[in-house]
Structure 1
Amino acid sequence: MKNLVIIGGGFAGFWSAMSAVRQARFLRKDSSLKITMISLDEYLSIRPRFYENKFKDMRVPLKKYLDPLGVVLDVAKVIRIDHKKKNIFTLGSNSQEEVLSFDGLILAAGSQLSRPSIPGFEHAFNVDTFGDAVLLANHLKELSDFRFPSAASRTFVVVGASFTGLEVITGLPERLRSFDLPDIQFNFILTDRSFSIAPEYSSEAREIISWQLEKEGIQFFAGEEVDSISPDHILFKSGKCIETRTIIWCGGLKANPLTSMFPIDRDCQGRLKVDQFLRIDGQKTIFAAGDVAQACVDDEGHTSVMSCQHAIPQGKFAGNNAVNALFDCNLIPYSQPRYVTCLDLGSEQALLTSGWGRFPKMTGISAKKLKTEIMSKWIIPEKDVEETVKISVPVILHNEG
């Protein structure tokens, strides 16, 4: 019996498990393989939706899928990986250290909010985890219960003018309108140390984004670096101070620190560089997928980004290849030339872009409907377990046309 361990229950980890089950069946090795997933909790969190106001269907029970397939779910925290002796050390709910051995490993531990050493950072909200999103929602509800009594309570500051920050700030006006307090005027401020909104987007896309910010009355403070944060204000190094009760940090992500357990180069986000089969350098049966992996996606040198767009396909490839590696079968090279983004920009507005230049392809209500479909259907597992297993086959996503 061979042991395949998957660390992480997010998009990459979940689809690694589905693909591993499918491929083991295909090779008729399912009775010779034990698959274990180690996750911090029992849910696949639909993290890209944490900026939303409604929390229904934002967490998918892992056991619903894993139990019928015979995949063991170990709810624990991984504290150390010994890749030479092939041992994983965990802490469970009983705070007792346990050791799990493996023959094959898929590291799919995801990413976490980058938390700078800014005085008072703990006073900022974020949407990194489900718990963080709930804290923000409860905070907004509490302010509404008191009818946003002060200017500071009616002022909302989002730090970070890239993808997540834009979705958070443009979603706030609609969230606050849901409290049905039409007589209250709110102030929305987006800040970034960069001098440009969404610098990773094309100039044409930035024009659309800027237009939507202006339409919603959202101010953009460019070139501002945070000096300190307090419960009732945020201070910038320029000396500018904004009185606010709500500061939401969207300042970027970094890979799970478990990547440091492997003595190889990591990129600026802490991700492990993997080969064309998603193997960690020098390891025949150890793979990485999702936000912990820096993978080449095409022949032009582009590398994956931290998003479910890359995590889901990588999970399918990693699960397939891990099983094949354990049973001495050929591996499938990962490739994903197609790259699109669909950015939510608030009420009845979204922006679909195509290519690494992020050029506009669709806007308005049509793009908004597509965004809703992506968030509610495309990235969610099928309700039927066996149907979910069937669609875990690795597929290369080519550019349209």
Structure 2
Amino acid sequence: MPVRNALEALSLRPTVFLRSAWPWRSLAYLLGGVLLGSATILAVVGLLLAGTVLSVLVIGFAGYVATVLSGIVVARVERRRLRLVDEEELSDPHQPVPGKGLRAWLMFRLREQATWRELGYAMVSAGVLCWMDALVVFGTGYTVLGTLLAPLIIDDEPLSNTIWFTLAGIPLTVILAYPITAWAGARAAMARAILAPRDDRLVEVTRSRARLVDAFEVERRRIERDLHDGAQQRLVALSMQLGMARLELPAGSAAASSVAAAHDLAKQALTDLRELIRGVHPKVLTDRGLAAAIGEAASTAPVPVDLDLRLPGRLSPAVEVTAYFVVTEALTNVAKHSGADRAAVTAWTTDRGRLIVEIHDDGIGGADPAEGSGLVGLADRVAVLDGTVTLSSPEDGPTLVHVEIPL
């Protein structure tokens, strides 16, 4: 298995790990951290002093600006140093400057979140991490040299005693390769966590998830269209043919009974298919929008449903589909589990660009997602669009499902 960073190297067999370059690379990384932190401290102190001394002049402000921007330089150096202990390259989170000139560059960089995150890392590196690097490096070096060079350093002990120190220093040097590598790996992980363009992968995951949702809904519509225009039409034709054959056969004959049974089965299959089509993707949702689809679902619900739908018109297909199935699933739960006499569905959009849907019933309450009432699947469906589901269902009711979906 290829090893890509120092922490993974620790899982190697001792003979393989100790012969590898990872302990030396880790030591070099920590030494570089000491030097980088020391240079950062000197540079920041110098810039702050210059800004303070020259504060009576306009150019004094440049010292403070340079202090803020120093994090960019530190972060750039750190990204290069990380390659010592982490072979995965850390990309630069800064965006290209749209304008030209120094003023445009400064204004753009000072507004970037990455600039301030890098300044924070520079302060943490100079104020804490470099001192810990120094403690590990110089503490390890002092221990190793103190034992290996014991005969040269200790004068008031017999040579036979100091030789034991030297012999003990050999395995000690080998053992200390592990804490050095472990700290270097942990140090690199902290640097990566702070400096990584943390939104890049999240944005890509979000975008890919949105593409999957859109592709899934396109496929649902295709299936609904194929069932509606294909299988359903054939079942309608079959039902009509069986009905006509049923009329032509003598009443009470064996053939008439068989055809009547087949006719009834065809009608039942047609009814089942229509329910299936509605479950895959209701045609009314595609043709007339969310309000009409919720109205149709409410009209067929087992309990009376009051509607208050204040929607501005058509929403995005993904939002409409998600909201529709949230309502239908919630109304199904009302009918199955709540014992309610009445339910209500309210939907509206906010100025913050969110669709709010609330399903309320006057049932017995006590709804628990862990009991398999479909609420977990409902929440998962909403989460695909970065929405949220809130449930309020005390014992003795009422139950309120509050859903928010970004538009």
Highest RCO, 1 vs 2 (Cα 8 Å, sep ≥ 6): 1
TM-score (norm 2): 0.21
- Compare CA radii of gyration and give the structure with the larger one: 2
Kindly indicate which of the two structures has a greater share of residues assigned to helix: 2
Kindly indicate which of the two structures has a greater share of residues assigned to strand: 1
TM-score (norm 1): 0.21
